[in-house]
Amino acid sequence: MTDANLFDRLIGANPDPSRIAIETVDGMRWSFADLAAESGRLANLLVKRGVKPGDRVAVQVEKSVENLILYLATVRAGGVYLPLNTAYTLNELAYFLEDAEPSLVVCDPSKAEGIQAIASKVNAKVETLDAKGKGSLTAAAATAKPDFMTVARGGEDLAAILYTSGTTGRSKGAMLTHDNLTSNALSLVDAWRFTEKDVLIHALPIYHTHGLFVASNVTLFARASMIFLSKFDPDVVIRMMDRATVLMGVPTFYTRLLPHPALTIESTRHMRLFISGSAPLLADTHRAWSTRTGHAVLERYGMTETGMNTSNPYDGDRVPGAVGPALRGVSVRVTDRETGKELPRESVGMIEVKGPNVFKGYWRMPEKTRTEFRHDGFFITGDIGKIDQRDYVHILGRGTDLIITGGLNVYPKEVESEIDALAGVVESAVVGVPHPDFGEGVTAIVVRSRDGGPTEEQVLKALEGRLARFKIPKHAIFVDELPRNAMGKVQKNILRDKYAGLYKNG
């Protein structure tokens, strides 16, 4: 087997000891050689804890450099890295751990007790890691040897599993291979002209494809460096622009930075590139950003299952409201949703993609995997869009009713099921309506039984602890009945239109 392990390509066999890969705002620094040594210690520990090639390492921790090194160490040891959103409750975690059957779970010390109970059911060991990079994991790794022979992997072997929720409410684990991650990062380095001179402001979470693979892998591949922020903070981001060259963000970053008085042509002068993705960037935001800073935001489009598919050009028109042409090596087409027949340019249909970036399938869901791919290997994204005369892709909406709030996905069905289970509730429909801060605000439309039912406050309170905070509706509105079409389907578009102005004033 020729070795295709992503780790060796990210860090290199003989990293330049002096080159800085990561720094934090409080002045901590990690060179590429430090990443090699620290990931070596952790990889030795993982092996000692019984992690074998192909084993899953599930990780639900706050963002820290040690967390990123744990990702590198897992891949290096031949394991499969499985990050989980820190907002998931124990109730939600039980599903992921039972489905993925990891051999090791790493969690925040505050959650260790609850997770231990779930982990023991699947015979997984538990280690802890806190927001400061401290815990049983790093304590044990401190005495381990830094040298570690990277475990050889084939290009088709799994490097990571990232869960994406399903419209039926069941989450699916997207299986990503060493080749998927390598090919996508390399084409982005090229498309966005990353070099070792670049300094990325890394303010994204690293349990998601955007912060973990796009931001981190691209920077490491380019031998560039990143300023690692524990979270997005407009003041800090603007302060860092003096030394940085690139910002990658979700649209919410841009809408939150725009009102900041310190955002000017002068304060962004050192920056060469602002990138946006994970949700639609409003054309208005794009224009306002150009006017304020003189920079045209470069918008790209991707998803957990595919990595990045399209990008506006580095040189050439960055069109507001469009996500640009397909990346090198990626094929994008638009088809008739029902027949799968390819449609001509400018026609609206289902966006489908094919390329080395496209995942291997859903973990332990061969049937689901089969139905999401066409016979000729194209993956059916679920996004509705069109391709224009210049090959730019435009995303017009989602086939499913996925809600994206603050860059995070919420599948209505999952929230509806929890609401419907409450005493006195007949049924509910959960939709996303425009929200000035979050892009979309999760909103529940609820039908109560005739003889009473919960108040708005009672509905929202009942969801706490059942659902991650970002999935909990901002409002529950009561109606006598839901609008339905002739086939009996709830017409969510009518609800979205009706409540479009709900969050107008924040």
Window of 30-38, 49-57, 140-148, 275-283 that interacts with ligand AMP by CB under 6 A: 275-283
181 belongs to the binding site for ligand AMP (CB under 6 A): no
CB atoms within 10 A of CB 457: 9
CA-angle at 396, arms to 497 and 232, nearest 5° = 85
Window of 139-147, 294-302, 455-463, 465-473 that interacts with ligand AMP by CB under 6 A: 294-302
Closest to 306 (Cα-Cα) out of 225, 200, 187: 187
Provide the minimum distance between the beta carbon of 87 and ligand AMP in the complex, in angstroms, as a whole number: 14
363 belongs to the binding site for ligand AMP (CB under 6 A): no
# binding residues, ligand AMP (CB under 6 A): 17
Window of 67-75, 132-140, 278-286, 447-455 that interacts with ligand AMP by CB under 6 A: 278-286
440-443, long-range: CB < 8 A, 24+ apart: 440/403, 440/404, 440/405, 441/405, 441/474, 441/475, 441/502, 441/503, 442/403, 442/405, 442/410, 442/415, 442/470, 442/471, 442/472, 442/473, 442/474, 443/473, 443/474, 443/475, 443/477, 443/499, 443/502
Window of 141-149, 194-202, 254-262, 272-280 that interacts with ligand AMP by CB under 6 A: 272-280
- CA 192/CA 202 separation, integer angstroms: 16
299 belongs to the binding site for ligand AMP (CB under 6 A): yes
Whose Cβ is closer to ligand AMP: residue 202's or residue 398's? 398
409 belongs to the binding site for ligand AMP (CB under 6 A): yes
SS3 of residue 131 by DSSP: coil
Q: Where are the alpha helices (DSSP H) in 167-270?
A: 178-191, 209, 218-221, 234-240, 251-257
Whose Cβ is closer to ligand AMP: residue 45's or residue 319's? 319
Residues 378-397 that bind ligand AMP (CB under 6 A): 381, 383, 395
CB atoms within 10 A of CB 266: 11
- CA 443/CA 432 separation, integer angstroms: 6
Window of 71-79, 105-113, 123-131, 299-307 that interacts with ligand AMP by CB under 6 A: 299-307
Whose Cβ is closer to ligand AMP: residue 40's or residue 249's? 249
CA-based max dimension of the chain: 72
Window of 46-54, 76-84, 252-260, 274-282 that interacts with ligand AMP by CB under 6 A: 274-282
- Amino acid identity, residue 151? V
- CA 446/CA 464 separation, integer angstroms: 17
Provide the minimum distance between the beta carbon of 368 and ligand AMP in the complex, in angstroms, as a whole number: 15
Whose Cβ is closer to ligand AMP: residue 60's or residue 304's? 304
- CA 306/CA 191 separation, integer angstroms: 17
Whose Cβ is closer to ligand AMP: residue 383's or residue 418's? 383
- CA 270/CA 23 separation, integer angstroms: 18
Residues 301-330 that bind ligand AMP (CB under 6 A): 301-304, 323
252 belongs to the binding site for ligand AMP (CB under 6 A): no
- CA 10/CA 39 separation, integer angstroms: 12
How far from 497 is each of 261, 283, 433, 474, 500, CA to CA, in Å? 34, 20, 8, 17, 5
Whose Cβ is closer to ligand AMP: residue 34's or residue 299's? 299
Residues 199-218 that bind ligand AMP (CB under 6 A): 209
Residues 147-166 that bind ligand AMP (CB under 6 A): 164
Provide the minimum distance between the beta carbon of 305 and ligand AMP in the complex, in angstroms, as a whole number: 7
15 belongs to the binding site for ligand AMP (CB under 6 A): no
Strands 246-249 and 199-202: parallel
Whose Cβ is closer to ligand AMP: residue 49's or residue 300's? 300
277 belongs to the binding site for ligand AMP (CB under 6 A): yes
Partners of 181 in the β-ladder: none
Q: Is the dihedral of CA 309, 438, 492, 472 positive or negative?
A: positive
Window of 132-140, 180-188, 296-304, 484-492 that interacts with ligand AMP by CB under 6 A: 296-304
Provide the minimum distance between the beta carbon of 442 and ligand AMP in the complex, in angstroms, as a whole number: 15
Provide the minimum distance between the beta carbon of 303 and ligand AMP in the complex, in angstroms, as a whole number: 3
From 15, 40, 249, 280, residue interacting with ligand AMP (rule: CB under 6 A)? 280
Whose Cβ is closer to ligand AMP: residue 35's or residue 351's? 351
Sheet holding 307-311: strands in order across?
29-31, 20-24, 225-228, 199-202, 246-249, 273-276, 298-303, 307-311
Provide the minimum distance between the beta carbon of 308 and ligand AMP in the complex, in angstroms, as a whole number: 9
The contact set with ligand AMP (CB under 6 A) reads: 164, 209, 277-280, 299, 301-304, 323, 381, 383, 395, 398, 409
